Amino acid sequence: MEYSSSNLIAFFYKNWKTLVVIPFLSMVVAVLFSGPTFIKPLFEAQVILFPSTTNSVSKALLPQSNGYGDEDILEFGDEQQAEQLLQILNSGEIRDSVIKKFDLMNHYEIGEDTKYRRTKLFKEYTSKIEFARTQFMSVEINVLDTDPQQAADMANYISYLVNQVKKRVQKNRAQMGLEIVKSEYLNLQSEIQTMEEEITLLRYKGVHDYESQSAVFNEQYAIALAQGAQSSFIKQLERRLDTLAKYGGRYVSIRDELKLLKDEEVKLRTKFDQAKVDVNQMLPATFKVDDAFAAERKTYPKRSVLILAVGFVVLVLVTFVLLLRVTVVELRTKS
């Protein structure tokens, strides 16, 4: 059969009733079966989050050893932070918390005797709750549910959990860092105290400032010898010089090392204070644009789109079947 324009027009004219009635009836059926009796309507709730760039409060707000931190706590994160946020959102901890909080096993009507019930639950969860990164480096939390208020509550709860999970992970790491710095700080303080006690004993022995004492005593000793001072005075100077000779080197060594340790103590003290701040204070991991609210109109199914799609598909199928039948009849006639 040659399908010229005239033949096609004749074909459609001849079969117009079939081509109209069957798609129309299918659309009527689609109207009936797309109603809430057969397909539960789903309502969507959405929360938009922007990731933050700041992880450490101390580095952003407290003075550092080389000045103040250059992190901006008000700056939105980039692609890397958005991807990290998506990883947290897709974590099992958040999924399990949401499932437990809203009793999704019963809410999704998954019975106890259902085979692979947890697998089915997770599949239902991922089909109803989606996370996506936008072109503006924000992250969308989209929740579909038969109850519009529960959809909003779930979206808001997930946005709350993001901060809690990140805080927990960061706090655990910050706590480990605090313990390390605290241990080093206490060890350094103990070492400084031991050296201060030793230098105090040297002062009791008469060594207070090795360089100046040595210069003064040597000068006095030379003058005493030149002027023929009393032997008792000379012997007293000799005893003091002997004391300086005996303990002076140790005194200078401890004093110089103590100065370095005290400088190190100041730096370590700053690190210790910063670590305590990072453990006890946490900035939110995200900027929330808006809270989710209960939707007034359903998102799924789109009945008008569904009905038109059914009508179009049925029209194409009916046309194909009719053309196929005409072609078969003509082939049999020729044979």
The amino acid sitting at 323 is L
The two three-digit tokens of residue 86, written as one number: 């998506």
The amino acid sitting at 228 is G
Q: Omega of the bond prior to 284 within 30 degrees of 0, cis?
A: no
Of 23, 11, 20, the C-alpha closest to 323 is 11
Q: What is the pTM of this model?
A: 0.63
Q: Chain-centre distance of CA 40, in angstroms?
A: 35
Domain residue spans of the chain: 5-174+283-334, 178-280
**pLDDT by residue, tens only, the chain of 335 residues:** 444 556 667 767 777 777 777 877 787 776 666 655 556 778 899 999 888 766 665 555 555 555 545 555 555 566 788 888 889 899 989 999 999 999 999 988 888 888 888 999 999 999 999 999 888 888 899 999 988 999 999 999 999 998 888 888 878 888 888 888 889 889 998 998 988 888 888 888 877 776 777 777 666 767 766 676 667 767 776 777 777 777 777 878 888 888 898 888 888 888 888 777 777 766 667 777 788 888 777 766 666 676 778 778 888 888 888 778 777 777 777 66
